[in-house]
Structure 1
Amino acid sequence: MFNSLSKPPLAALGALVGVAALALTGCSGAGAGAVPGAATTNSASDTSSIVEHAPVAADDLIVPDSTMKKIKNRGVLRVGAALDAPLLSQQDPTNPDNISGFDITMAKMLAKYILGEPKIEVIPPASETREALLANGTVDVVFNTYTINEKRATQISFAGPYFSSGLAVAVKADRTDIKSIDDLGGKTVIVGANTPAVQAVPGKQPTAKLVDFATDPQAVQALLQGRGDAYVQDYTLLASNAAKEKGMKIVGEPFTVESYGIGLKLNDQQFKTFINNWLTTIQENGQWGEVWEKTLGTVTESNTPTPPKIGSVPGS
């Protein structure tokens, strides 16, 4: 399953946006200034039907004095999420009321589970502010390519993991002979300088010839220009690139593992159990896979992955 040694910079993209200035409220049919997070009309990213048919928690699961009850009384789920992460959580520049992607759809489904409708307030975090936003109650949850690790788990709690990323392989869109890391023996492979791919690729394919570039845009251009047979980078970063550059695609599944969790306030075990039970429900019902297929799955030729096992990562 998906995961990597390197954390893509997507989680930090929200740092470029003022948190207070861009706290956006989202719900279906909301008025001016609200951000319903409704998907765009592009069929590759339209997850509105999935959200519409998402499960709603039974009344007895919203127990008195719980975080779930407080959210329900408030009438909105406050979410730490990016606004500029393609296929994960991206605001439509032509229609700011629309935010689409895997992470934001998951957040809307969680809101539907708690509230009966997908009302969310999106607050873009910086990678260094996520723990503080949870600790001070600014947000209820963080969906932000938030890698689970034991150090972070001393400051906040993690539900999940709900998704696993990792180093993956991208090639030009018209290429058919490379389907995974297994096909890179003897090939010229583009990597980012000082990224985990520098060690991981030779570990899998000792005969591959590495060509490194200082930045991700340089590496993408090198791939599109044919200066390498493949580009190895974190799956979510490759997916973001492929969403913008139609000349490239992802092949196969990630061959390393980095698990993402839903960030929660520290030691709220009741809320954590509630969310983990919700994750189990949408995984078993197939809705997790449907969201993946409409978002991250649109730029890869691999099959729908198996969701990561909840509680399977130290710190989760």
Structure 2
Amino acid sequence: MGKLAVAALLLFVAGCSGGSGAVPGGAGKLEALLAKAPVYAGQVTPGSAVDRIRARGKLVIGGSQDAPLLSQLDPVSGELTGFDAYLGKLLARYLLGEPDTELLSATSETREPLLSNGTVDVIIQTYTITPARRERVSFAGPYYRSGQSIAVRKGTTGIATPAGLAGKTVIVGANTPGVKAVRDAAPTARIVEFGSDPECLTALKQGRGEAYVQDQAILVADASKDGELQLVGEPFTEDPYGIGIRHGDAEFTAVVNDWLREIGESGLWQDVWRQTIGTVVTGDAPAPPAIAS
């Protein structure tokens, strides 16, 4: 979310009164998006990823169901809502003609094995594209841009910028870009890694670290439902999110990239943003990021 107005985000977080059960989206919103969704009309190569997905009759996605604004399970409808979740449904619609999906829970440690062994077709889970990951995963996109930001317990002082992390104990997600971001910004910080965002939040609230560094998109969602959390300053990196695909599958990557270009050019990407992240971030929908070659 590095291109968004951070001041607007902080104003939202400071004034939000939604409870932990608040889920973005609602009845009819996904249906309205699907009504505008394109369907793949290209040739399907026998044995290709698209062929296998069509034979199975559903798109298997590695992701989350506990990330507000991104991919969260609605306890009332039982449906996933959020930016990543809706993109997954739209991609299934593109590939199958129907939004038939199955979500398998993924973590930063399991995403790549799930792709490499064919358990999932794609990872749609705030998956930041990095050179190291490109050696193990193919990426379509980027489909969104965020950035590493700092969160602290409300009332914490002395951390106003990344330089303020120097000498502090800083919580980060294991195997996430936050590790390198903290090392680069504050080499003397003591880094403590946890396997998931909920674990990192719990550790911060328990005082096991003085700050938590994570993608701003995730932290804003966390702060929207937790009044103990406070965002500090602006993002200090720019992180592109990609759709993870099995390494070396250039054909499927091209298909997904074509879909991303199509929904970006038609305005459907912005519609998804408005129905999810845009429900709490003021201002116009940003332009989708340019798709990498």
The TM-score, its normalising length taken from structure 1, stands at: 0.64
In the alignment, is the contact (CA less than 8 A) between 2:24 and 2:69 conserved in 1?
no
- State the AA in 2 paired with 1:85: A
8 Å CA contact 1:167, 1:235 repeated in 2 = yes
Q: Indicate the residue corresponding to 2:32 in structure 1.
A: 49
Deviations 1:212-234 (A, max 9, x none): xxx757989xxxxxxxxxx9963
User: How many angstroms apart in 1 are the aligned matches of 2:24 and 2:126?
Assistant: 25
Cα distance change on mapping 1:232 and 1:136 into 2, 3 Å:
closer
In structure 2, relative to structure 1, the CA distance for the partners of 1:98 and 1:252 (3 Å cut) is farther
* 1:142 paired to 2:118: no
Matches within 5 A, 1:241-256: 241-245=222-226, 254=235, 256=237
Does the 8 Å contact 1:293/1:304 carry over to 2? yes
Q: Does 1:161 align with 2:137?
A: no
- Name the residue aligned to 1:271: 252
- Separation (CA, whole Å) in 1 of partners of 2:84 and 2:145: 12
Residue 44 (structure 2) pairs with residue 62 (structure 1)? yes
Distance in 1 (CA, whole Å) between partners of 2:286 and 2:228 is 23
Deviation digits for residues 122-170 of structure 1 (CA, Å, limit 9, x no counterpart):
1011211111111111100000111111211111211111111114699
Mapped partners of 1:189, 1:233: distance in 2: 15
What is the distance in 2 between the residues matched to 1:304 and 1:99?
22
Return the match for 1:132 from 113, 124, 130. 113
With over 3 angstroms needed to count, the CA separation of the structure-2 counterparts of 1:82 and 1:137, relative to structure 1, is same
Contact 2:36 2:268 (8 Å CA) reproduced: no
Aligned residue identity for 1:79:
I
Task: Output one character per residue of 1:248-303: Cα deviation in whole Å (capped at 9) or x when no partner.
Answer: 99999856301111111111100000100000000000111111111112222243
Partner of 2:62: 80
Task: Tell me the residue number matched to 2:75.
Answer: 93
What is the number of equivalent residue pairs in this alignment?
238
Alignment-derived partner of residue 194 in structure 1: 170
- Which string of whole-angstrom CA distances, capped at 9 and with x for unpartnered residues, describes residues 170-220 of structure 1? 9xxxxxxxxxxxxxxxx984887537589879xxxxxxxxxxxxx757989
Cα pair distance change 1:280/1:251, threshold 3 Å: farther
Give the deviation of 1:235 after TM superposition. 1.8
Give ranges in structure 1 of 5+ residues lacking alignment. Answer: 4-39, 171-186, 202-214, 221-230
1:140 and 1:241 mapped to 2: Cα distance?
28
> Residues of 2 paired with 1:253 and 1:48: CA distance?
35
Name the counterpart of 1:260. 241
**Residue type at the aligned position of 1:309:** A
8 Å CA contact 2:219–2:231 kept in 1: the answer is yes
Contact persistence 2:170–2:213 (CA under 8 A): no
Which letter does structure 2 place at the counterpart of 1:306?
A
* CA deviation map 1:76-99 (0-9, x unaligned): 00000101111111112344x311
Greater shift, 248-257 or 109-118, is seen at: 248-257
Equivalent residue, structure 1, for 2:94:
113
Q: For 2:134 and 2:284, how far apart are their aligned partners in 1?
A: 31
Aligned residue for 1:311, secondary structure, equals coil
Q: How does 1:171-250 map to 2 (within 5 A)?
A: 189=160, 194=170, 196=181, 216=201, 234-245=215-226
Q: Which runs of 5+ in 2 are unaligned?
A: 4-22, 152-157, 172-180, 187-199, 206-211
Q: Which moved more, 1:107-116 or 1:292-301?
A: 292-301
Asked whether the 8 Å contact 1:79–1:121 carries over to 2, the reply is yes
> TM-score when scaled to structure 2?
0.68
CA RMSD of aligned residues (A): 3.6
The alpha-carbon distance between structure 1 residues 115 and 255, as it changes in their structure 2 partners (threshold 3 A), is same
Q: Equivalents in 2 of 1:199, 1:155: separation in Å?
A: 23
Letter in 2 for 1:239: V
- Structure 2 residue identity aligned to 1:135: S
